[in-house]
Amino acid sequence: MQRRRTGMIAATSVLGMTAVLGGCGLGGGSGEVTLRLVAADYGDSASNSSQKYWDKLVKAYEAKHANVKVEVSVYSWNDVDRKVKELVAAGKAPDMAQIGAYADYAAAGKLYSTADLLSIPVEADFLEPLADAGEVKHNKYGLPFAASTRVLFYNKTLFTEAGITPPKDWSELAADAEALKEKGVKYPFALPLGSEEAQAETMQWLLGGGGGYTDDIGTYTLDSAENISTFTWLRDNLVAKGLTGPVAPAELNRADAFAAFANGDVGMLNGHPTLIQQAAKKGVKFGTVAMPGRNGKAKTTMGVADWMTAFKQNGHREQIGDFLDYVYSEQNVLAFSREYDLLPVTNSASDAMQASTQDKDLRPFLAELPLSTLYPVGNTSWAAVSADIKKGIGRAVAANGNPTAVLGQLQAAATLAESGK
Protein backbone atom coordinates (compact mmCIF):
# COMPACT_ATOMS: atom_id res chain seq x y z
CA MET A 1 0.00 0.00 0.00
CA GLN A 2 1.27 3.43 -0.83
CA ARG A 3 1.94 5.57 2.23
CA ARG A 4 2.42 9.30 2.33
CA ARG A 5 5.98 10.17 3.28
CA THR A 6 6.33 13.53 1.58
CA GLY A 7 4.39 16.78 1.69
CA MET A 8 2.30 16.15 -1.40
CA ILE A 9 -1.47 16.44 -1.32
CA ALA A 10 -3.67 13.98 -3.17
CA ALA A 11 -7.23 14.38 -4.31
CA THR A 12 -9.13 11.17 -4.83
CA SER A 13 -12.54 10.19 -6.01
CA VAL A 14 -14.94 8.33 -3.76
CA LEU A 15 -14.38 5.26 -5.91
CA GLY A 16 -10.64 5.56 -5.52
CA MET A 17 -10.93 5.94 -1.75
CA THR A 18 -13.17 2.90 -1.52
CA ALA A 19 -10.61 0.89 -3.43
CA VAL A 20 -7.82 1.90 -1.08
CA LEU A 21 -9.83 1.26 2.06
CA GLY A 22 -11.44 -1.97 0.97
CA GLY A 23 -8.67 -3.58 -1.03
CA CYS A 24 -5.58 -2.62 0.89
CA GLY A 25 -4.29 -5.77 2.55
CA LEU A 26 -1.05 -6.65 4.22
CA GLY A 27 1.46 -8.93 2.65
CA GLY A 28 1.29 -12.52 3.84
CA GLY A 29 4.03 -14.65 5.23
CA SER A 30 4.99 -12.35 8.07
CA GLY A 31 3.30 -14.36 10.81
CA GLU A 32 0.49 -13.27 13.08
CA VAL A 33 0.69 -9.84 14.67
CA THR A 34 -1.35 -8.71 17.66
CA LEU A 35 -2.07 -5.00 17.91
CA ARG A 36 -3.07 -3.53 21.25
CA LEU A 37 -5.29 -0.48 21.45
CA VAL A 38 -6.24 1.45 24.60
CA ALA A 39 -9.37 3.54 24.05
CA ALA A 40 -11.65 5.89 25.94
CA ASP A 41 -15.26 5.09 26.78
CA TYR A 42 -17.82 7.47 25.29
CA GLY A 43 -20.83 5.54 26.54
CA ASP A 44 -22.91 6.41 29.58
CA SER A 45 -23.97 2.83 30.41
CA ALA A 46 -23.00 -0.77 29.75
CA SER A 47 -25.46 -0.90 26.88
CA ASN A 48 -23.56 1.65 24.79
CA SER A 49 -20.03 1.19 26.05
CA SER A 50 -17.34 1.94 23.51
CA GLN A 51 -16.12 -1.61 24.07
CA LYS A 52 -19.14 -2.79 22.07
CA TYR A 53 -18.27 -0.43 19.21
CA TRP A 54 -14.66 -1.60 19.08
CA ASP A 55 -15.55 -5.29 19.42
CA LYS A 56 -17.83 -5.05 16.39
CA LEU A 57 -15.29 -3.10 14.33
CA VAL A 58 -12.42 -5.44 15.22
CA LYS A 59 -14.47 -8.53 14.38
CA ALA A 60 -15.19 -7.16 10.90
CA TYR A 61 -11.53 -6.17 10.40
CA GLU A 62 -10.08 -9.50 11.54
CA ALA A 63 -12.44 -11.38 9.23
CA LYS A 64 -10.52 -9.85 6.30
CA HIS A 65 -7.04 -9.91 7.87
CA ALA A 66 -6.21 -13.40 9.06
CA ASN A 67 -2.69 -12.50 10.19
CA VAL A 68 -3.68 -9.54 12.38
CA LYS A 69 -5.40 -9.64 15.75
CA VAL A 70 -6.50 -6.51 17.58
CA GLU A 71 -7.01 -6.37 21.33
CA VAL A 72 -8.90 -3.34 22.63
CA SER A 73 -9.03 -2.24 26.27
CA VAL A 74 -11.55 0.51 27.05
CA TYR A 75 -11.24 2.78 30.09
CA SER A 76 -13.32 5.67 31.39
CA TRP A 77 -12.20 9.20 30.62
CA ASN A 78 -11.22 9.48 34.28
CA ASP A 79 -8.66 6.73 33.84
CA VAL A 80 -7.61 6.33 30.21
CA ASP A 81 -4.92 9.02 29.99
CA ARG A 82 -3.39 7.90 33.28
CA LYS A 83 -3.45 4.26 32.16
CA VAL A 84 -1.60 5.01 28.93
CA LYS A 85 0.94 7.13 30.80
CA GLU A 86 1.61 4.25 33.19
CA LEU A 87 2.03 1.75 30.34
CA VAL A 88 4.47 4.01 28.52
CA ALA A 89 6.46 4.67 31.69
CA ALA A 90 6.70 0.92 32.30
CA GLY A 91 8.04 0.30 28.80
CA LYS A 92 4.81 -1.40 27.75
CA ALA A 93 3.34 1.18 25.40
CA PRO A 94 0.26 0.02 23.46
CA ASP A 95 0.44 0.06 19.68
CA MET A 96 -2.35 2.65 19.65
CA ALA A 97 -4.01 4.87 22.22
CA GLN A 98 -7.21 6.87 21.73
CA ILE A 99 -6.88 9.57 24.38
CA GLY A 100 -7.21 13.27 25.14
CA ALA A 101 -3.71 14.55 24.37
CA TYR A 102 -0.65 13.54 22.41
CA ALA A 103 1.93 16.34 22.42
CA ASP A 104 4.11 15.03 25.26
CA TYR A 105 4.54 11.66 23.55
CA ALA A 106 5.25 13.29 20.19
CA ALA A 107 7.85 15.63 21.67
CA ALA A 108 9.58 12.62 23.25
CA GLY A 109 9.82 10.91 19.85
CA LYS A 110 7.55 8.03 20.87
CA LEU A 111 4.89 8.33 18.13
CA TYR A 112 4.62 7.56 14.45
CA SER A 113 3.61 10.52 12.34
CA THR A 114 0.44 10.29 10.28
CA ALA A 115 2.61 10.35 7.16
CA ASP A 116 4.22 7.10 8.32
CA LEU A 117 0.90 5.40 8.84
CA LEU A 118 -2.01 6.40 6.68
CA SER A 119 -2.77 5.95 3.01
CA ILE A 120 -2.86 9.18 1.00
CA PRO A 121 -6.66 9.45 0.65
CA VAL A 122 -7.32 8.74 4.32
CA GLU A 123 -4.85 11.34 5.53
CA ALA A 124 -6.21 13.88 3.04
CA ASP A 125 -9.77 13.26 4.27
CA PHE A 126 -9.36 14.80 7.73
CA LEU A 127 -11.03 18.17 8.24
CA GLU A 128 -8.33 20.81 7.95
CA PRO A 129 -8.56 22.51 11.38
CA LEU A 130 -8.51 19.11 13.08
CA ALA A 131 -5.56 17.86 11.07
CA ASP A 132 -3.65 21.06 11.77
CA ALA A 133 -4.31 20.74 15.50
CA GLY A 134 -2.60 17.35 15.46
CA GLU A 135 0.74 18.92 14.58
CA VAL A 136 3.94 19.28 16.61
CA LYS A 137 6.90 21.09 15.04
CA HIS A 138 5.37 20.85 11.55
CA ASN A 139 4.72 17.11 11.71
CA LYS A 140 1.33 15.57 12.40
CA TYR A 141 1.23 12.99 15.19
CA GLY A 142 -2.30 13.28 16.55
CA LEU A 143 -5.06 11.73 14.44
CA PRO A 144 -8.37 13.42 15.29
CA PHE A 145 -10.80 10.75 16.42
CA ALA A 146 -13.96 12.50 17.59
CA ALA A 147 -14.98 16.14 17.49
CA SER A 148 -17.58 18.58 18.70
CA THR A 149 -18.31 22.28 18.54
CA ARG A 150 -20.40 24.61 20.66
CA VAL A 151 -23.48 26.64 19.80
CA LEU A 152 -25.85 28.74 21.88
CA PHE A 153 -28.84 26.76 23.16
CA TYR A 154 -31.95 28.66 24.21
CA ASN A 155 -35.22 27.59 25.80
CA LYS A 156 -37.95 28.38 23.26
CA THR A 157 -40.74 28.36 25.84
CA LEU A 158 -38.98 30.83 28.13
CA PHE A 159 -38.05 33.06 25.19
CA THR A 160 -41.66 33.16 23.99
CA GLU A 161 -42.93 34.01 27.48
CA ALA A 162 -40.37 36.84 27.70
CA GLY A 163 -41.18 38.10 24.19
CA ILE A 164 -37.57 37.92 22.99
CA THR A 165 -35.62 36.47 20.08
CA PRO A 166 -32.24 34.68 20.06
CA PRO A 167 -29.29 37.09 20.37
CA LYS A 168 -26.93 37.94 17.54
CA ASP A 169 -24.32 39.78 19.61
CA TRP A 170 -23.35 40.35 23.23
CA SER A 171 -25.54 43.40 23.76
CA GLU A 172 -28.60 41.44 22.62
CA LEU A 173 -27.55 38.50 24.79
CA ALA A 174 -27.39 40.75 27.87
CA ALA A 175 -30.76 42.30 27.01
CA ASP A 176 -32.33 38.86 26.58
CA ALA A 177 -30.90 37.78 29.92
CA GLU A 178 -32.43 40.85 31.58
CA ALA A 179 -35.84 40.01 30.12
CA LEU A 180 -35.56 36.41 31.29
CA LYS A 181 -34.61 37.53 34.79
CA GLU A 182 -37.68 39.78 34.93
CA LYS A 183 -39.79 36.70 34.18
CA GLY A 184 -38.25 34.86 37.11
CA VAL A 185 -36.01 32.49 35.15
CA LYS A 186 -33.56 30.86 37.56
CA TYR A 187 -30.54 31.00 35.25
CA PRO A 188 -31.07 33.65 32.54
CA PHE A 189 -27.62 32.74 31.18
CA ALA A 190 -25.77 29.79 32.69
CA LEU A 191 -22.03 30.52 32.83
CA PRO A 192 -20.18 27.37 33.96
CA LEU A 193 -16.68 28.43 34.96
CA GLY A 194 -16.32 25.69 37.57
CA SER A 195 -13.42 23.28 37.57
CA GLU A 196 -15.05 20.61 35.37
CA GLU A 197 -14.73 22.36 32.01
CA ALA A 198 -13.98 26.05 32.57
CA GLN A 199 -11.33 25.97 29.86
CA ALA A 200 -14.06 25.35 27.26
CA GLU A 201 -16.48 28.07 28.39
CA THR A 202 -13.56 30.48 28.68
CA MET A 203 -12.29 29.80 25.18
CA GLN A 204 -15.71 30.37 23.62
CA TRP A 205 -15.96 33.82 25.17
CA LEU A 206 -12.37 34.73 24.30
CA LEU A 207 -12.94 33.86 20.65
CA GLY A 208 -16.18 35.84 20.60
CA GLY A 209 -14.27 38.83 21.91
CA GLY A 210 -11.63 38.64 19.19
CA GLY A 211 -8.98 36.99 21.36
CA GLY A 212 -8.01 33.45 22.29
CA TYR A 213 -5.50 31.38 24.19
CA THR A 214 -2.60 31.82 21.74
CA ASP A 215 -1.46 33.86 18.78
CA ASP A 216 -0.99 32.45 15.27
CA ILE A 217 2.31 30.79 16.15
CA GLY A 218 1.12 29.14 19.36
CA THR A 219 2.45 31.64 21.92
CA TYR A 220 0.13 32.09 24.89
CA THR A 221 -1.73 35.42 25.00
CA LEU A 222 -4.07 34.91 27.93
CA ASP A 223 -3.68 38.46 29.24
CA SER A 224 -4.17 40.22 25.89
CA ALA A 225 -6.21 43.41 25.82
CA GLU A 226 -9.01 41.58 23.99
CA ASN A 227 -9.19 38.83 26.62
CA ILE A 228 -9.17 41.26 29.53
CA SER A 229 -11.94 43.24 27.86
CA THR A 230 -14.00 40.07 27.38
CA PHE A 231 -13.89 39.05 31.04
CA THR A 232 -14.49 42.60 32.17
CA TRP A 233 -17.65 42.59 30.05
CA LEU A 234 -18.78 39.28 31.54
CA ARG A 235 -18.21 40.51 35.08
CA ASP A 236 -19.96 43.85 34.59
CA ASN A 237 -22.79 42.95 32.19
CA LEU A 238 -23.82 39.45 33.24
CA VAL A 239 -22.49 38.39 36.63
CA ALA A 240 -22.72 41.71 38.50
CA LYS A 241 -26.31 42.18 37.29
CA GLY A 242 -27.41 38.80 38.61
CA LEU A 243 -28.03 37.33 35.16
CA THR A 244 -26.04 34.11 35.64
CA GLY A 245 -28.18 32.47 38.30
CA PRO A 246 -27.94 31.58 41.99
CA VAL A 247 -24.67 29.62 41.72
CA ALA A 248 -21.48 31.65 41.25
CA PRO A 249 -19.88 30.91 37.85
CA ALA A 250 -16.71 29.71 39.61
CA GLU A 251 -18.81 27.04 41.37
CA LEU A 252 -21.02 26.03 38.43
CA ASN A 253 -19.88 23.00 36.47
CA ARG A 254 -20.87 22.18 32.92
CA ALA A 255 -22.77 18.99 33.83
CA ASP A 256 -24.86 20.89 36.39
CA ALA A 257 -25.58 23.67 33.90
CA PHE A 258 -26.70 21.11 31.30
CA ALA A 259 -28.92 19.39 33.86
CA ALA A 260 -30.48 22.72 34.80
CA PHE A 261 -31.18 23.44 31.14
CA ALA A 262 -32.80 20.02 30.72
CA ASN A 263 -34.97 20.82 33.76
CA GLY A 264 -36.20 24.03 32.14
CA ASP A 265 -34.37 26.36 34.56
CA VAL A 266 -31.95 27.95 32.06
CA GLY A 267 -32.74 30.52 29.41
CA MET A 268 -29.45 30.30 27.49
CA LEU A 269 -26.12 28.51 27.62
CA ASN A 270 -23.32 27.34 25.38
CA GLY A 271 -23.68 23.64 24.65
CA HIS A 272 -22.35 20.75 22.60
CA PRO A 273 -24.28 18.00 20.75
CA THR A 274 -24.88 15.74 23.75
CA LEU A 275 -27.24 18.36 25.21
CA ILE A 276 -29.67 17.71 22.34
CA GLN A 277 -30.73 14.30 23.63
CA GLN A 278 -30.46 15.32 27.27
CA ALA A 279 -32.91 18.20 26.80
CA ALA A 280 -35.20 16.28 24.45
CA LYS A 281 -35.62 13.46 26.99
CA LYS A 282 -36.97 15.99 29.49
CA GLY A 283 -39.32 17.55 26.93
CA VAL A 284 -37.57 20.91 26.77
CA LYS A 285 -38.30 22.82 23.58
CA PHE A 286 -35.05 24.41 22.55
CA GLY A 287 -33.37 26.11 19.63
CA THR A 288 -29.76 26.72 18.69
CA VAL A 289 -27.94 29.62 17.06
CA ALA A 290 -24.31 30.40 16.38
CA MET A 291 -22.45 31.72 19.39
CA PRO A 292 -22.84 35.52 19.45
CA GLY A 293 -19.70 37.63 19.39
CA ARG A 294 -19.06 41.12 20.69
CA ASN A 295 -20.32 42.77 17.50
CA GLY A 296 -22.17 39.95 15.75
CA LYS A 297 -21.55 36.31 14.98
CA ALA A 298 -18.16 35.24 16.29
CA LYS A 299 -15.60 34.90 13.48
CA THR A 300 -14.54 31.54 14.83
CA THR A 301 -15.95 29.23 17.47
CA MET A 302 -14.39 26.56 19.62
CA GLY A 303 -13.85 23.07 18.32
CA VAL A 304 -12.81 20.11 20.44
CA ALA A 305 -11.15 16.91 19.31
CA ASP A 306 -9.94 13.71 20.94
CA TRP A 307 -6.94 11.92 19.50
CA MET A 308 -5.72 8.61 18.17
CA THR A 309 -1.99 7.99 18.54
CA ALA A 310 0.34 5.23 17.38
CA PHE A 311 3.42 4.30 19.41
CA LYS A 312 6.69 3.20 17.84
CA GLN A 313 7.84 0.90 20.64
CA ASN A 314 6.50 -2.39 19.25
CA GLY A 315 7.09 -1.66 15.57
CA HIS A 316 4.05 -2.89 13.60
CA ARG A 317 3.92 0.32 11.56
CA GLU A 318 2.38 -1.27 8.48
CA GLN A 319 -0.22 -3.21 10.44
CA ILE A 320 -1.17 -0.17 12.52
CA GLY A 321 -1.52 1.94 9.39
CA ASP A 322 -3.71 -0.61 7.67
CA PHE A 323 -5.97 -0.95 10.73
CA LEU A 324 -6.30 2.83 11.10
CA ASP A 325 -7.20 3.16 7.43
CA TYR A 326 -10.10 0.85 8.23
CA VAL A 327 -11.02 2.72 11.42
CA TYR A 328 -11.26 5.96 9.44
CA SER A 329 -13.40 4.61 6.62
CA GLU A 330 -16.55 6.65 6.05
CA GLN A 331 -18.88 3.98 7.36
CA ASN A 332 -16.95 3.50 10.60
CA VAL A 333 -16.54 7.21 11.29
CA LEU A 334 -20.27 7.72 10.72
CA ALA A 335 -21.21 4.77 12.93
CA PHE A 336 -19.14 6.06 15.84
CA SER A 337 -20.33 9.66 15.47
CA ARG A 338 -23.98 8.67 15.39
CA GLU A 339 -23.67 6.30 18.32
CA TYR A 340 -22.26 9.00 20.61
CA ASP A 341 -23.75 12.26 19.21
CA LEU A 342 -20.34 13.49 18.09
CA LEU A 343 -19.13 15.09 14.89
CA PRO A 344 -17.17 13.23 12.20
CA VAL A 345 -13.52 14.15 11.82
CA THR A 346 -13.39 13.45 8.07
CA ASN A 347 -14.75 15.39 5.11
CA SER A 348 -16.43 12.33 3.60
CA ALA A 349 -18.34 11.43 6.76
CA SER A 350 -19.22 15.08 7.42
CA ASP A 351 -20.65 15.45 3.92
CA ALA A 352 -22.69 12.28 4.39
CA MET A 353 -24.03 13.52 7.72
CA GLN A 354 -24.90 16.94 6.28
CA ALA A 355 -26.94 15.26 3.55
CA SER A 356 -28.74 12.83 5.86
CA THR A 357 -32.12 13.72 7.38
CA GLN A 358 -31.41 11.50 10.38
CA ASP A 359 -28.59 13.85 11.39
CA LYS A 360 -30.41 17.16 10.89
CA ASP A 361 -30.09 18.14 14.58
CA LEU A 362 -26.30 18.10 14.22
CA ARG A 363 -26.18 20.41 11.21
CA PRO A 364 -25.63 23.61 13.25
CA PHE A 365 -22.60 21.98 14.87
CA LEU A 366 -21.31 20.59 11.57
CA ALA A 367 -21.49 24.06 10.03
CA GLU A 368 -19.19 25.47 12.71
CA LEU A 369 -16.53 22.73 12.66
CA PRO A 370 -14.61 23.52 9.43
CA LEU A 371 -13.81 27.05 10.63
CA SER A 372 -13.43 26.27 14.32
CA THR A 373 -10.43 26.96 16.54
CA LEU A 374 -9.16 24.13 18.74
CA TYR A 375 -7.32 24.12 22.02
CA PRO A 376 -3.54 24.56 21.61
CA VAL A 377 -3.05 20.83 22.06
CA GLY A 378 0.21 20.92 20.10
CA ASN A 379 1.80 22.75 23.04
CA THR A 380 3.26 20.23 25.47
CA SER A 381 2.33 22.65 28.26
CA TRP A 382 -1.39 22.70 27.42
CA ALA A 383 -2.42 20.12 30.01
CA ALA A 384 -0.89 22.20 32.81
CA VAL A 385 -2.23 25.47 31.43
CA SER A 386 -5.71 24.01 31.05
CA ALA A 387 -5.64 22.80 34.65
CA ASP A 388 -4.68 26.28 35.86
CA ILE A 389 -7.53 27.85 33.88
CA LYS A 390 -10.03 25.39 35.36
CA LYS A 391 -8.93 26.27 38.89
CA GLY A 392 -8.60 30.03 38.54
CA ILE A 393 -10.59 31.69 35.77
CA GLY A 394 -13.83 31.90 37.75
CA ARG A 395 -12.24 34.46 40.07
CA ALA A 396 -12.07 36.93 37.19
CA VAL A 397 -15.83 37.45 37.11
CA ALA A 398 -16.50 37.44 40.87
CA ALA A 399 -18.07 40.53 42.44
CA ASN A 400 -14.66 41.87 43.38
CA GLY A 401 -12.86 40.05 40.57
CA ASN A 402 -9.96 41.60 38.72
CA PRO A 403 -9.73 40.20 35.16
CA THR A 404 -6.42 41.93 34.53
CA ALA A 405 -4.81 40.34 37.58
CA VAL A 406 -6.31 36.88 37.09
CA LEU A 407 -5.42 36.66 33.42
CA GLY A 408 -1.98 38.07 34.17
CA GLN A 409 -1.35 35.32 36.69
CA LEU A 410 -2.54 32.66 34.27
CA GLN A 411 -0.31 34.11 31.55
CA ALA A 412 2.75 34.05 33.79
CA ALA A 413 2.09 30.41 34.72
CA ALA A 414 1.52 29.50 31.06
CA THR A 415 4.76 31.12 29.95
CA LEU A 416 6.65 29.24 32.67
CA ALA A 417 4.99 25.95 31.75
CA GLU A 418 5.80 26.40 28.08
CA SER A 419 9.45 27.08 28.89
CA GLY A 420 9.61 23.73 30.65
CA LYS A 421 10.95 25.16 33.89
Size of the chain, expressed as the number of residues it contains? 421
Average pLDDT over residues 133-148: 90
Residue 315 CA neighbour count, 13 Å, CB half? 2
Q: Which pLDDT belongs to residue 59?
A: 97
CA 96 – CA 102 distance, rounded (Å): 11
DSSP-assigned letter for residue 7: S
φ/ψ region of 117 (left if φ > 0, alpha if ψ in -120 to 50, else beta) reads alpha
- Binning pLDDT at 50, 70 and 90, where does residue 20 land? very low
Average pLDDT over residues 28-45: 82
Q: Which pLDDT belongs to residue 43?
A: 85
Average pLDDT over residues 343-371: 91
Q: Which pLDDT belongs to residue 421?
A: 56
- Binning pLDDT at 50, 70 and 90, where does residue 370 land? confident
Contact 74, 51 (CB under 8 A): yes
Question: Beta-carbon neighbour count of residue 370 at 10 Å?
Answer: 14
Are β-strands 266-271 and 187-189 bridged in parallel, bridged antiparallel, or unpaired? parallel
What are the tens digits of pLDDT across the range 265-319? 999 999 998 899 899 999 999 999 999 999 998 888 899 899 999 999 999 999 9
CA 286 – CA 349 distance, rounded (Å): 26
3-state DSSP assignment of residue 88: helix
How far, CA to CA in Å, does 59 sit from each of 40, 47, 71, 146, 275? 19, 18, 10, 21, 32
Question: Beta-carbon neighbour count of residue 64 at 10 Å?
Answer: 11
**Concatenated DSSP letters for 276-332?**
HHHHHHTT--EEEEPPEETTEE-SS-EEEEEEEEEBSTT--HHHHHHHHHHHTSHHH
Please state which of the ranges 155-169, 307-321, 369-383 shows the lowest mean pLDDT.
369-383
What are the tens digits of pLDDT across the range 92-127? 999 999 998 898 999 899 999 999 999 999 999 999
